[in-house]
Structure 1
Amino acid sequence: VCFGKHGEFREVSRAFLKGHSAGVYGFAFSNDSRRMATVSKDGTWKLWDTDVEYKKQQDPYLLYTGHLSIREPCRIALSPDARVVAISSLFDITVFSTRTGEVEEEFLSVHGDAITDLTFDTANKFLVSSGERAIRVFHNTAGYRAAIADMKDLLKKATNKGTKDRLQQQINDAQSALDAVCK
């Protein structure tokens, strides 16, 4: 989707993601549309950098490929800040770090029937699933941990005291929020 300098809609350009060896079950974008996650019948999930110049024929860049055992139906959700991806497979949910690709959490037998939808709230605090006429809400603890890790990396690179103090305060606040939900 292309917009002008003042935010007005211009056109829609076609783009292709190449990399899965079988059909794609689903996809999800981050809030700013700079990242996209896909999950496929080939047993992989992929994280893409979609912040490219389509006018110059650039394709999205593959950032990471993860592997998992998939049972249908399958859903995928990417956190608003693109730090966490959640994938449901039948009754179960697996949460991955997009930074490392590691499994952060697994929620087994979440619903009695297949999961019908999966999403993060816009504030990035909760992961929500639906199925069997019920909604389940989970704290996005993987998101808190990923944000803390990113801020610690920034703190190591910070050069002035004001930036260091601000980052340390943000780390402390995020750690307190994480501790509060992990009691």
Structure 2
Amino acid sequence: MKDRRSFRINVDYDHAVRVRWTPDGSALVVFKYNEGRIEFYKVDKVGNWFQNPTKQSSFPRAHTDDIVGFGVAPSGKYLITCTNKTEMVVWDAHGNVLEKIDTFLINTYSAKISPCGKFIAACGFTSDVPIWEVRFDKSGEFQSVQKAFNLNGHKAGIFDIAFDRDTSKAVTVCKDGTWKIFNINIEYYKGESARCLKSGTYEQTSAAALVAISPLGKVVAIATGKSIQIFSVSSGSLEGTIENVCLGQITAIKFDPTGKCLLVCADRYIRIFHNIPEFKTALEIPEGRLKQT
């Protein structure tokens, strides 16, 4: 494409290992590897493109270990950083530490913020996934981070976790070759537990598995090494496999907001695949209702 353009920001004396946009799209948030700190880079949008990147702020260093979790809440009220040990920090947008959390996972493999911004999840060496609620009062002031519930049922450590668009379902992928879908639209404050809706198995490799669930919660994608397996949430069956996606290993997978495409990061490229199983499973539901009728 002749009109294809790029936008470059130089990070002083370091390199970024995590990058996120702020919810309003006005700044990039990066985590610097050597310094172990967060920096904000404000950008101006002129016409349909970005210009004039300027460093807006730099957070104090909070970690000395490698980062496995980094995210910005959809509201922009808080951020999280989480190490591969057990330390997670919740920050406000000005670099103040709101809360420090011990994940009690021995080793943490992944940590994420739910799409609704209400929950933080972490998974790792143990077979349970703790979920915390981040609480703000009616005026928007931070109150606390409280344990909400666990995702239980696996028999080994959990590689990764993902949420659907409305945070009603969560999917986990385990070291023992299984994956599970949980209903997390629950009254946990009344003691209700998350319920496993569907469980399945995936083909393992020597690489740690990554998982993503489509926004409407119809299909699950699991990446292992160079390949991707896609499963139906309703039936748990394998709907398709994408073999040899890359030369190295897949480092990230994510569905686009519409669920029509699956984005795969590997070999310094982002590859985009049509999510055909989503359309197939979308047809299965009304076809099943017709048979019942």
Q: Answer yes or no: same fold by TM over 0.5.
A: yes
- How large is the RMSD of aligned CA atoms in angstroms? 2.4
Give the counterpart of 1:101 among 220, 236, 245: 236
Counterpart-to-counterpart distance in 2, 1:147 and 1:130: 26
Gaps of 5+ in 2: 1-117, 119-132
User: Which residue is 1:49 aligned to?
Assistant: 183
Residue 222 of structure 2: SS of its match in structure 1? Answer: strand
* Counterpart AA for 2:163: F
User: Which residue is 2:247 aligned to?
Assistant: 112
2:267 matched to 1:132?
yes
User: Which residue is 2:286 aligned to?
Assistant: 151
TM-score normalised over the length of structure 1: 0.78
Superposition deviation, residue 152 in structure 1: 3.0
Superposition deviation, residue 156 in structure 1: 6.1
Contact in 2 for aligned 1:115/1:129 (Cα 8 Å): yes
User: Which residue is 1:92 aligned to?
Assistant: 227
Counterpart-to-counterpart distance in 1, 2:189 and 2:223: 35
The structure, 1 or 2, with the larger RCO (C-alpha pairs under 8 Å, 6+ apart) is 1
Give the counterpart of 1:58 among 184, 187, 192: 192
Identity of aligned residues (%): 33
User: For residues 66-102 of structure 1, what are the alpha-carbon distances to aligned partners after superposition, in whole Å with 9 as ceiling and x for unaligned?
Assistant: 0122221311000000000000001000000011111
* Counterpart AA for 1:19: G
Give the counterpart of 1:32 among 166, 173, 180: 166
* Counterpart AA for 1:117: A
Superposition deviation, residue 153 in structure 1: 3.7
Counterpart-to-counterpart distance in 2, 1:135 and 1:143: 20
Superposition deviation, residue 155 in structure 1: 5.3
Residue 16 of structure 1: SS of its match in structure 2? Answer: strand
* Counterpart AA for 1:32: D
Counterpart-to-counterpart distance in 1, 2:197 and 2:184: 10
TM-score normalised over the length of structure 2: 0.50
Q: Larger C-alpha radius of gyration, 1 or 2?
A: 2
User: Which residue is 2:126 aligned to?
Assistant: none
Gaps of 5+ in 1: 159-183
Counterpart-to-counterpart distance in 1, 2:271 and 2:237: 23
2:139 matched to 1:16?
no
Superposition deviation, residue 118 in structure 1: 0.4
